[in-house]
Structure 1
């Protein structure tokens, strides 16, 4: 067997300790990074859940507002026998994007326009005839 020079086992032990300390330090840094990443992901998940809940609540509000106005419109059209009244249609995916408040305002404005139109005089055959001209004094 060959002899180990004096001090070599001591250097090997020190080198081993250095390497294990670096590995331990790397593991600790990795764990800290993972804890921070987990905390960020948890915060992001919580924020997303809150946004989802808020969006669902807004969707319910818009749906209820539209349903109420649709039902009121159907009641207003009840006497219009010539008009075929149907169930409330499904949402139109081609409609421009709008906030919940803008959507409710738009539906309310359309309902008010309908209500105003129904309050105007109804169509009749005589409404298409020309109106009689008033004679001026010079024509008499």
Structure 2
């Protein structure tokens, strides 16, 4: 509270002006803080949307990689009449968490293992039978 130059205490009008000036200043500071916070929140929303878009793109890349490997596996197993070939299974929610890169690497490794296994000599009932001896072996 300030006194006027004559040394008298301020009157009600002056006191009212001081209080309203203080309140106006407080409101302006609060509006400035709210404006800055709104800008921060807008930036966070934009960044969040970008992260969502990137995650959706990664999800699509992983899904496409899995579909591609699944289709290749089905083609590789086409001649295996004994094996029941089904459509692509649903994701396993109990699978351990992994990055998109780790997931694709895991699917790629499994695909390579399958193709490697299919390239090896196959088991058959006749492969367990003793080989017929040639006449040369009898001598």
TM-score tier after normalising by the smaller chain length: 0.7 to 0.9
- In the comparison of the two structures, how many residue pairs are matched? 127
1:88-103 superposed matches below 5 A: 88-103=88-103
Higher relative contact order (CA 8 A, sep 6+): 1
Between the aligned partners of 1:70 and 1:123, the Cα distance in structure 2 is 23
Between the aligned partners of 1:24 and 1:130, the Cα distance in structure 2 is 102
Between the aligned partners of 2:39 and 2:104, the Cα distance in structure 1 is 38
Other-structure match for 2:28: 28
Other-structure match for 2:39: 39
The SS at the match of 1:95 is: coil
Q: Extract unaligned runs of 5+ from structure 2.
A: 1-6, 132-138
Once the two structures are TM-superposed, the CA of residue 33 in structure 1 deviates from its matched residue by 1.0
The SS at the match of 1:85 is: coil
Between the aligned partners of 1:126 and 1:26, the Cα distance in structure 2 is 93
Give the TM-score taking structure 1 as reference length: 0.83
- Cα RMSD after superposing both structures: 2.1
User: Where in structure 1 do 4 or more consecutive aligned residues deviate above 2 Å?
Assistant: 126-131
Q: Extract unaligned runs of 5+ from structure 1.
A: 1-6, 132-139
